[in-house]
Structure 1
Amino acid sequence: MDHPRPELFDFHGVSMTHYFTDNWENVQNFKARPDDIVVATYPKAGTTWLCYILDLLYFRQTHPDRETTVPIYERVPFLEMTMPSYPLGTEMADTLTTSPRIIKTHLPVQFLPKSFWEQNCKIVYCARNAKDNAVSYFHFDRMEKLQPEPGDWSSFLQRFREGKMVFGSWFDHVCGWWEKKQTYSNIHYMFFEDMVEDTGREIKHLCSFLGLSTSEEEKEKIRGDVQFDVMKANPMTNLSEDGSLDFSVSQFLRKGKVGDWKNHFTVAQNEQFDELYKQKMKNTTLQFRTEI
């Protein structure tokens, strides 16, 4: 797929590209249903992982054929996405035949369509520590031709620090959703690092939040099937069919580790980042681990 890489622009105070704003009116007017489940993340924070876990929890028993025939991005539509020669995210969500609908978004909290709040929908938010998130986003932008030109690591990191990323500042995103959780009880706020540390435990917490009575045996089977190497080899989750991704540059599911930032940040970059981090996070109770 040959499309020029898009330019970033300021959209209501958040950096965006036209691929996520072209269908804005339909996104904002999207009609949520009370049983909809929203998967919300900053890009590259374990989104596909979480979508797959939820899809298996809800539909493995009733729709086993999906496992080998329907890629994850069709099972869990990306609400705000407008990709060339591909159905709009809102249309895909509207035409889902499975219920509940699991819908993915990278929107900052203030952009989520209001009907999700009005219907009191359950929202699962997953956050990843800033340093690993930046590294993962960098490698993704290198291979994803629908993203702005990433430049080299040093210039990319500078942009990340400034929040000049698609979907805006990491700091604003994770903190915005964290603050909302304090007043909206239907948000389950998860951490990528916890999922890596003990996937089984996090699946149990998810079941509890969602009110699912999944058997221990089934949870254990799902835990095995969502391990990184298994998903990386699974054509339904590794996005190998996505024409906008250049797999000669990087893998979509690259490492899935905690602490890979140490292979990218120089000592100086790390010190500067820590300084900025302290300042940006001083007014929140949100805490992250950069190693486990």
Structure 2
Amino acid sequence: MSLDPEKAVLPSRQQLFDFHGVSMIPIFTDNWENVQNFQARPDDILIATYPKAGTTWVSQILDLLYFGQTERQKTIPIFERVPFLEIAVPSLVSGKDLADKLTTTPRLIKTHFPVQFVPKSFWEQNCKIVYVARNAKDNMVSFFHFDRMNMAHPDPGDWSNYIHRFMEGKMVFGSWYDHVNGWWKKKQTYSNIHYMFYEDMIEDTEREIDKLCSFLSLSRSADEKKMIAGGVQFDNMKKNEMTNYSTFSILDFKISPFMRKGKVGDWKNHFTVAQNEVFDEDYKKKMKDPTLQFRTEI
């Protein structure tokens, strides 16, 4: 098994299938038993998101908060520092095996699982979980461009069909609505979830880093937090080969970069007025919980 993502055998685009009621593709379900039996430790930190909601951003922030600006930041790509638990690409070490091999304390691990798929040991060990949510419209635009360049994901087709697929939850990792609501609901009964919003992070990164530090009981100086906030700004991460996924061969950067814009409100460049009206109608039906509110502009 190779550890080197540049040598990954390029899978052909995979087809969605229904997996325990959630649309999935085989590279995220093939290692199901092993992933479900993953042994979490009490100090593990799980970073959970719907795809394209700021996962890499928060992963880098947490890595810097815990381990500082060290050599590992310059030499180890983010997907090795923060393994993707459920991924199992043929010819690559699985995310679960990478997580098992982590030597850091704490171990930072990421997942895109809806809440009901999370291995039970994370709950049993009372692990801290950082969840990041992004407004549906921007999340969908980002996912659309990601699906275009990710050769393992199903072909996104054209934009107007994609909107309907998104509304129906026919996406890798299922419905955005179920995902953000499921994790929000879990937070009411499991106090070790810190639920963050992508829009808040864009608006004031330092403030959100402060909140993260409180949640994780970390004391970092104002200067350290300021430096981290500066280092993780979008343009810096987009240029950084250790965070921009440019070494990951499944992604075709000729089609689109992994880190594209990192903006709030880019959906306005994609939705027609009619599409927006249909989407808003549908959104109202699915987002019933008044306590969970998203901003589509800041």
CA distance in 1, matches of 2:116, 2:233: 32
User: What is the Cα deviation at residue 284 of structure 1?
Assistant: 4.7
Q: 1:137 aligns with which of 134, 143, 159?
A: 143
1:194 — aligned with what?
200
1:13 — aligned with what?
21
CA distance in 1, matches of 2:10, 2:46: 31
Tell whether 2:37 aligns with 1:59: no
CA distance in 1, matches of 2:217, 2:11: 43
2:278 — aligned with what?
272
> Alignment length, in residue pairs?
290
CA distance in 2, matches of 1:185, 1:2: 40
Local SS of the residue matching 1:123: strand
**1:42-89 CA distance string (max 9 Å, x none):** 00000000000000000116xx11121000000000000001221111
CA distance in 2, matches of 1:233, 1:144: 19
**1:27-51 CA distance string (max 9 Å, x none):** 1111000000000000000000000
Matches within 5 A, 1:184-263: 184-263=190-269
CA distance in 2, matches of 1:72, 1:284: 35
User: What is the Cα deviation at residue 3 of structure 1?
Assistant: 2.3
Structure 1: runs of 5+ lacking an equivalent: none
CA distance in 2, matches of 1:122, 1:60: 20
CA distance in 1, matches of 2:124, 2:244: 34
Local SS of the residue matching 1:181: helix
Matches within 5 A, 1:139-158: 139-158=145-164
CA distance in 2, matches of 1:10, 1:112: 17
User: What is the Cα deviation at residue 283 of structure 1?
Assistant: 3.6
Aligned 8 A contact 2:115 2:183 in 1: yes
1:281 — aligned with what?
287
Query: Sequence identity of aligned pairs in percent?
Result: 72
Aligned 8 A contact 2:10 2:152 in 1: no
RMSD of Structure 2 on Structure 1 (CA):
0.8
**1:97-125 CA distance string (max 9 Å, x none):** 11100000000000000000000000000
Normalising by structure 2, report the TM-score: 0.96
Q: 2:43 aligns with which of 35, 56, 62?
A: 35
Aligned 8 A contact 1:175 1:284 in 2: no
Aligned 8 A contact 2:10 2:249 in 1: no
Q: Which amino acid aligns with 2:270?
A: H
Q: In the superposition, relative to structure 1, how do residues 118 and 247 fare at CA in structure 2: closer, same or farther (>3 Å)? A: same
Tell whether 2:43 aligns with 1:23: no
Q: Which amino acid aligns with 1:5?
A: R
CA distance in 1, matches of 2:135, 2:253: 25
Q: Which amino acid aligns with 2:171?
A: M
Q: Which amino acid aligns with 1:112?
A: V
